[in-house]
Amino acid sequence: MGEVIVVTSGKGGVGKTTTTANLGAGLASLGSRVCLIDADIGLRNLDVVMGLENRIVYDLVDVTSGNCHFRKALIKDKRFENLFLLPAAQTKDKTAVSPEQMKTLCEEIKDEFDYVIVDCPAGIEQGFRNAIAGANQAVVVTTPEVSAVRDADRIIGLLEKEDLREPKLVINRMRFQMVKHGDMMSIDDIIEILAVDLLGVVPEDELVVVSTNRGEMVVMNNASRSGQAYRNIVRRIKGEEVPMMDLEENSGLFNRLRRMIGLK
């Protein structure tokens, strides 16, 4: 029986969907059976981020309303045969599904998968309550901005109220040069404020945009730093101890020189 992990943030645009897609692909590449659920009804996006938008026949609301069995609605990924997507409905709204229905659905699906990952919509209303209803673990995504961190704090409080204790934090779009110059909150600043466990830090990376443009996941790009960050997060989810990445940007001339002469 698998785990149900909800990926949430409160604030929109911090990278929930990107994180969900990359965790899914990363876990699948290590051999786990993974099912991703897009719970953002009316604003379906996980399909297009994964490049699966042309394959949708049935959706989440078809399943919860009893139109079809969930197995029939699952879309198999193009790259991993053990990765599946249950897309959100695009024409309904968030009230088309109830928390009880989501709970029942997650119970059914997790019997057949190692990991069920639910992509939560932004906000704290019904869509949020639906997305967390069936989860037994939560990943909170934030960026190093005051608005995102504040919303993350709110979400962590609400998750704890719903008995999703000890949510894990992913800090996305980190810019280490800016932290060094005192122009961005550091990992430690954010952890100190939120008082939660850190699951991983994903550096700002243009390759995320490039991959998403193509409907691919950056976690599969071995040359990318953000991909490496996601691969580390995936291994931590599987219970491995993985040290945090060396987060300095290795671009400066001095750093390159030091590396050349073997000081680093």
Partner 1 sequence: MLDFINRIFGRENHSSRNVAKERLRLVLVHDRAGVSPELLQALKAELIQVISNYMEIDEQALEVSLDSSENQVALVANIPVKRMKRRFQTESA
**Residue 181 or residue 214: which is nearer to partner 1 going by CB?**
181
Question: E strands along the chain, which residues?
Answer: 3-8, 34-38, 75-76, 83-86, 115-119, 137-142, 168-174, 197-203
Site membership for partner 1, residue 90 (CB under 8 A): no
Residues 26, 166: Cα–Cα separation, whole Å: 22
Q: Which of 198, 99, 97 is nearest to 144 (CA)?
A: 198
Does 20 count as an annotated binding residue? no
What order of strands is seen across the sheet that includes strand 34-38? 75-76, 83-86, 34-38, 115-119, 3-8, 137-142, 168-174, 197-203
Residue 242 neighbours by CB distance under 10 Å = 13
Q: Shortest approach of partner 1 to residue 149 CB, angstroms? A: 6
Does 18 count as an annotated binding residue? yes
Does 239 count as an annotated binding residue? no
**Residue 161 or residue 214: which is nearer to partner 1 going by CB?**
161
Which of the residues 120 through 149 are near partner 1 (CB under 8 A)?
A: 145-146, 149
Residue of 182, 239, 243, 262 interacting with partner 1 (CB under 8 A)? 182
Per-residue x/- track, 193-232, partner 1 (CB under 8 A):
x---------------------------------------
Residues 42, 122: Cα–Cα separation, whole Å: 12
Check if the beta carbon of residue 190 is closer than 8 Å to that of residue 145: no
Residues 168, 253: Cα–Cα separation, whole Å: 36
Q: Over the Cα atoms of the chain, what is R_g?
A: 18
Does 141 count as an annotated binding residue? no
Site membership for partner 1, residue 163 (CB under 8 A): no
Number of chain positions touching partner 1 (CB under 8 A): 18
Residue of 42, 186, 207, 247 interacting with partner 1 (CB under 8 A)? 186
Residue of 179, 187, 191, 198 interacting with partner 1 (CB under 8 A)? 179
Strand 34-38, strand 83-86: pairing = parallel
Does 17 count as an annotated binding residue? yes
Site membership for partner 1, residue 247 (CB under 8 A): no
The contact set with partner 1 (CB under 8 A) reads 145-146, 149-150, 153-154, 157-158, 161, 179, 181-186, 189, 193
Binding positions for ATP are 11-18
